[in-house]
Structure 1
Amino acid sequence: MNPEAKVPAFPEAAAVAESGPAHSVDRIMAVAYELFSTRGVRDVGVNELIERSGVAKATFYRHFPSKDSLVFAFLEQRDKQWTMNGILSEARRRGSTPQEQLLAIFDVFGEWFLREDFEACSFVRVMLEMGPAHPLGQASIDYLAKIRGHVQAVAEEAGLVRPEEFARSLLILMKGSVIQAVEGDMLAAERARQMAVWLIGHHSG
C-alpha cells in the first residue's frame, strides 16, 4: 500500500458540473448531488433545486418530471462516484491482497470521516427518511445490497468461508462506523477495522 495515497475527493457541485458541458441537466444534477448528499431528500424542495440550478421550471420538469425522478438519478450517480470510485476502487488500489483490500475500506473511511465535507451515507439516509416501502427507500436498499455484493466478491477472492454471511457482517461494521462518525467519533473507522480483522479471522478456513 502507498502510505501517501489520499482518499479521492468526493464530488461537490462544482466538480460535478465540470464533468461535462454546462447543460441544464448537468447543473441540476450538480446541485442535486450537493443538496441531497448533505441534507437528505425531504429537506430539499423543488423550488430550491430550480433556483440553485439557474434553470427555468419548465426546463427542470422536462428533464425530471418529479422530484423523485431526480432523487433516483442522484442515487445512481452516488453509487458510481461514491461507492465505486470513491470507496471500493480506492480500497482495491490500496490492498495488495483481497484481505488487505477488505481492511482498506476502513482506511479510506477514516480519511473520509476527517474531511470537512463528510456527508455520511446517502443510501442509509434516504432509506431511513423514506422508509423501506417507498420506491426511493427500496432503491437505497438495493444499492446497499450492491455494496454487499462487492464485499462478498472480495471475500470469495480471499477464500473466506461463508462469504455471504461475512459480507453482511462487514456491512454492519461499515454502516455502523459511518453513523458513529456522524456522532463525532473520529476513531470509528479504526475501531471498525479492528473488528474487521477479527471477522476475517473468524471466516478464514
Structure 2
Amino acid sequence: MSTPDASEAPGPSSSPAGQTTTRDDAVDRILDAAYELFSRRGIRAVGVDQLIERSGVAKATFYRHFPSKDDLVLAFLALRDQIWTVDLIISDARSRGDTAEEQLLAIFDVFGDWFQREDFEACSFINVLLEMGREHPLGKASIGYLARIRGHIQELAEEAGLERTEEFARSWHILMKGSIISATEGDVLASKRAQQMAAWLIEQHRGPDRPVSA
C-alpha cells in the first residue's frame, strides 16, 4: 500500500485505504469499511454484520481485532483525527498561508472547498457526541478529539503572537463548528461568513502594541 502524494491527500470523507501501514490487512479493510459507514451514517445505524460484509472478513477475524463495536468506533475516531483534523484541515491550512494568521484564516478556505463536496458529511466528532451523549465513552472520546482541534488552533494563535490563546481557540472553534452546521443546513456562504467573523476575532486578541499583519 503506497502513501499518497501530499497534493492528493485524502479528503475528510475519503477512505484511509492507500496509506502506509504495518497493520494486518484485515484491520485495514475493517477500518476502511468503518470509516466510510460511520462518517456517513453515524454509529447506531451501522451494524456489525454490515461492517463484516463491507470489509469482507470473517466474523471471528472481526472480533479478534475488535472485541466490540465500541472498540472499532474508537479506532475510527483516531483515524478520523489523523485524516480529517491533521492531514486535511491543519496541514492544508498551513500550506495556504505564509503567516500563522493567514493559516488560521485559511482554515475557512479549506472548509469552503470541503463544504462544496458532494460527499460532505459534517464533523464526525460532533455527530458522535450528539448521537451518543457526553457521558457515553464514545461521547467522551469525541470531546477529547474536539479538544485536540482547539489545541491545534491555540498553537497557531501562539505562533501568531495573539493574546489569551486558550480563550481565542475556544471562540475560534465555535466559528468552525457553527460554519459546519450552517453548511449542513445548506448555507453555501457559511465558510465566508465564519472567516469574516474570524478576522474580527483575531483583531480582538492582538496585543496592544502589535501591528496588523500585511
Global fold match (TM > 0.5): yes
Alpha-carbon distance in 1 for matches of 2:135, 2:167? 25
Counterpart residue type for residue 147 of structure 1: I
Q: Deviation at 1:161?
A: 1.1
Q: Deviation at 1:90?
A: 0.6
Alpha-carbon distance in 2 for matches of 1:161, 1:107? 24
Q: Deviation at 1:115?
A: 0.6
**1:17-32 to 2 correspondence within 5 Å?**
17-19=17-19, 23-32=25-34
Q: Which runs of 5+ in 2 are unaligned?
A: 1-6, 208-214
8 A contact 2:92–2:110 mirrored in 1: yes
CA RMSD of aligned residues (A): 1.6
Q: Give the match for residue 11 of structure 2.
A: 10
Q: Percent identity?
A: 66
- Alignment CA distance shift 1:19-1:161 (3 Å): closer
CA distances 1:27-78 after superposition (whole Å, capped 9, x unpaired): 1100000001111111101010011111111110001000000000000000
Q: Which runs of 5+ in 1 are unaligned?
A: 1-5
Q: Deviation at 1:24?
A: 1.2
1:177 aligns with 2:168: no
8 A contact 2:114–2:120 mirrored in 1: yes
Alpha-carbon distance in 1 for matches of 2:84, 2:107? 12
Q: Deviation at 1:25?
A: 1.1
Counterpart residue type for residue 110 of structure 1: G
Q: Deviation at 1:16?
A: 2.4
TM-score with structure 1 length normalisation?
A: 0.93
Alpha-carbon distance in 1 for matches of 2:8, 2:140? 29
1:57 aligns with 2:59: yes
Q: Give the match for residue 192 of structure 2.
A: 190
Counterpart residue type for residue 171 of structure 1: H
Alpha-carbon distance in 1 for matches of 2:99, 2:19? 32
**Number of equivalenced pairs:** 199
Q: Deviation at 1:168?
A: 0.3
**1:107-146 to 2 correspondence within 5 Å?**
107-146=109-148
- Alignment CA distance shift 1:180-1:8 (3 Å): farther
SS of corresponding position for 1:17: coil
Out of 33, 47, 50, which is 1:48 matched to?
A: 50
- Alignment CA distance shift 1:192-1:25 (3 Å): same
Moved over 2 A (4+): 6-9, 15-22
Q: Give the match for residue 3 of structure 1.
A: none
